[in-house]
Amino acid sequence: GAGVSQSPSNKVTEKGKDVELRCDPISGHTALYWYRQSLGQGLEFLIYFQGNSAPDKSGLPSDRFSAERTGGSVSTLTIQRTQQEDSAVYLCASSLSAGHSSGYTFGSGTRLTVV
C-alpha cells in the first residue's frame, strides 16, 4: 500500500494477557520506529530499526516489551503480561532512511486498552 499500515486498529485485552501489534511500513523504507502515546501526552520512543543493523531498544519500558522486524519489512511489537499502564496508542512510523528529508510517515496506530 501507499502508507504505513497498522493492525489491529483497536485492541481490548485483559490484564495479564499477551498482545501482538503489527506494522507494515512503506515498501522500500529502511527505517522503522515504534512509539506510544498516552492520552494527552507526547510521543514516547520505544524501539528503532534501521536496515539490517541491530535495533535500538533503549526506549522499551520493561522486558515485557519486545519487537522484531522480519526481512527488513513487517514489524511486530509484543507486550507480554499486559498491565493497565500499557494502555496507549501504539504508533509505527517508517522512513526511507533515518533523517531522510522526506520525513517519516506514521500509521494510524493501534489503540490498546488493558482492562
Among 25, 26, 35, 60, binds another protein (CB under 8 A): 35
**CB 97 within 8 Å of CB 105:** no
Amino acid of residue 68: E
Burial class (CB in 10 A: 0-12, 13-18, 19+), 92: buried
For another protein, the binding residue among 33, 36, 60, 88 (CB under 8 A) is: 33
The answer to the question of residue 7 lying near another protein (CB under 8 A) is: no
Helix (H, G, I), strand (E, B) or coil at 43: strand
Q: Which residues pair with 36 in a beta bridge?
A: 44, 90
Determine which residue in the list 56, 74, 76, 80 makes contact with another protein, applying CB under 8 A: 56
75-94 footprint of another protein as x/- string (CB under 8 A): ----------------x-x-
| Segment near another protein (CB under 8 A); pick from 17-25, 63-71, 77-85, 96-104 | 96-104
Strand (E) or helix (H) holding 93: strand 88-95
Q: Which residues pair with 42 in a beta bridge?
A: none
**Which residues sit at the interface with another protein, rule CB under 8 A?**
31, 33, 35, 41-43, 45, 48, 50, 53, 56, 58-59, 91, 93, 98-109
